[in-house]
Chains A and B, each alone.
Chain A
């Protein structure tokens, strides 16, 4: 019997179904994306964070969950502070540039 639940899709993340194609691409070009411990230093120090919610931590998380990243990147000024503070030594600027480059809009 159909209870109508399929009309409103669940907002739960189904890890079996997420689209990780962009994340996989970045694992090749910027392999230190795997090192992120989501500490939030990057977001805290970001010059654009208060204007746009830009956060490298969220960027990596969204990539890993197959969620959208375009809006968040609209304000990155490439100033490099996130790279300076990352305790895992991730080259966050390269990551951002690669995402900007390899991103393809989902239909």
Chain B
């Protein structure tokens, strides 16, 4: 190998340099800004995590698995996974290999930023070495891999269904510029390398193309700098364009995700609607649109524009009107977070957007005089607000606990204070905190050691936001399942077939998928829904949405019912009073809470 260009420079590298310089500077400033916006506590935790060996290794592994290989995408759909792996990992490899080539053959040029990218222009191959041809082989191999990925990407734009995506994101103008320039980078690189392959060498991909071009255009034509330089200019320009637009397009996720992952592994969470960690999540969104199919609202085309991918886009643009509309509409079911490849927390972002709002009237619950529960049993049952509207649950709880001879106090039988979660989800944190405080006083005053909930919304609130030292917080499905496992609760199996619906708050919210299934499986037979567990479809009744009307929710409930009844069950079992009320409205088969299922089979 020898250098063909003694100066090691040609003006065509300028577009690339400008682009690269711009994007690196931009990313550096953005990273510093995010760090500065984080609270000091979080910053400290982050830096410590970077030097902690376990977290540091985890970071490297996660970045490799998610940013390069896109493991989560492979699990979603193999074609999608392959497409992204090939482009990301392939590109990473040719950059890496380019640097290796410079290291091995022209190490004195390592200080030149652009040299590895344009190696094949600046270096001519004087003799063939094993090392050289191996590296050239690898370069061509990864270039081919990327090109296959690009072809798949083009196909995906036209026929996204082949990739398991019914709907995909509508691109903004700059996104389209970024997309086309990205697509052009590698074909142009291939073209440029093929033009100069007879001087610079190549392998199985570039060489044959070079022979083809020679046959068509003539060797002298190719060797004339007036002809081969423009191809390298084109390659450089397209790279430069991509880099320059990158911070303003969805491709910003590439550098951002590399910062998001370490911060997440350090335990940082969203603290503010638009600053710090939240900003990282907003910019990590790759705009892939997987959340669109997942969102339960997307059953109606009119709601597609309110999915999380578009929230992120509007947040970047600062379009307050749209941000408010999108934030208020969401059911906060968490499905988008579940399927998101980068882990953007749609519900959390929206709650924080809601929390920014100013209100002229601020309730306080000072006048609420609720007396502490009387009896002093060790088990305190909190029915929750919805239980009054779904008396079958309260009745069944009384019946089951009565049959088991368990002593308990029903705390809010004659009214009480809401657990506070709907208030929290509406973004009114101070009011929710006030309710939490009041309820905590009452619960502590009762002298109970176990708090039993039949509503998963309450359960999640008590579990995550209440400080009740010495008091065990448990959902009725968990409580009854434990009793069943220990033999205290004996269920007789009927031949009914139930489809169990995972409520959003119990399933995705608390990770409890098995206890209810244990109970229903012992009391009857279970036939699973088509999408269940983490992918279960929200019933549509969630209080998380502030602006959805009653009529708008019907389509979502019907879709959830269709999903549940795919296996032809006799009845539906659920563990949430809101799901129960919502499904009962439209279901043609009976809908029962787990408490009722257990009661019927005791």
* A touches B in complex, CB < 8 A: yes
Q: Which residues of A contact B (CB under 8 A)?
A: 32, 45, 47-48, 50-52, 69-70, 73-81, 83-85, 89, 91, 93-94, 97, 99-105
Flag if B368 contacts A51 (CB, 8 Å): yes
CB of B365 closer than 8 Å to a CB of A: yes
Contact: A97 with B426, CB < 8 Å?
Answer: yes
How far, in whole Å, are A15 and B586 apart by their CA atoms in the complex?
43
Residues of A contacting B550 in the complex (Cβ-Cβ under 8 angstroms): 89, 91
Is A102's CB under 8 angstroms from B365's CB? no
Q: Let me know if B365 and A94 touch, CB within 8 A.
A: no
In the complex the two chains form, is A73's CB within 8 Å of B386's CB? no
Grouping DSSP codes into helix (H, G, I), strand (E, B) and loop, the B interface class, with mixed when no group exceeds half, is loop
A76 vs B363: C-alpha distance when bound (angstroms):
7
A101 to B547, CA, bound (A): 14
A18 to B134, CA, bound (A): 87
* Alpha-carbon distance between A78 and B419 when the two chains are bound, in angstroms: 10
The residue from B357, B415, B416, B551 contacting A101, defined by CB atoms under 8 A apart: B357
Contacts of A50 in B (CB 8 A): 415
- Contacts A79-B422, A99-B361 given; does A93 touch B549 at CB 8 Å: no
Kindly state the separation between the CA atoms of A11 and B415 in the bound complex, as whole angstroms. 35
> Is there an interface contact between A81 and B360, defined as CB atoms closer than 8 Å?
no
List residues of B (568-582) whose CB comes within 8 Å of A's CBs: 581
CB–CB A77/B367 < 8 A:
no
Q: Which residue of B lies closest to A50 (CB)?
A: B415
CB distance from B430 to the nearest CB of A (A): 12
Can you list 25 A-B pairs, Cβ within 8 angstroms, ordered by A? A45-B389, A47-B416, A47-B418, A51-B367, A51-B369, A70-B361, A74-B367, A77-B363, A77-B365, A77-B417, A77-B420, A77-B422, A77-B431, A79-B418, A81-B385, A81-B386, A84-B386, A93-B422, A93-B543, A93-B546, A94-B546, A97-B359, A99-B361, A101-B357, A101-B358
Roughly how many angstroms separate A103 CA and B362 CA in the complex, as a whole number?
11
B residues adjacent to A (C-beta < 8 A): 328, 357-365, 367-369, 385-386, 388-389, 415-418, 420, 422-423, 426, 428, 431, 435, 543, 546-551, 581
Contact yes or no, B360 A80, CB < 8 A: no
- Does B367 lie within 8 Å of A52, measured CB to CB? yes
Also in contact, A100 and B359, with CB within 8 A (given A45-B389, A77-B423, A78-B418): yes
Q: Is the CB of A47 within 8 A of B415?
A: yes
Across the two chains, which residue of chain A brings its CB closest to B434?
A77
Given the known interface contacts A74-B363, A79-B422, the answer about A89 and B549 at a Cβ–Cβ threshold of 8 Å is yes
Shortest distance from the beta carbon of A31 to any chain B beta carbon, whole Å: 10
Docked complex Cα distance between A43 and B551 (Å): 22
Q: How far is the CA of A76 from the CA of B367 in the complex (A)?
A: 11
- Alpha-carbon gap, A70 to B431, bound state (A): 16
Residue of A with least CB distance to B369: A51
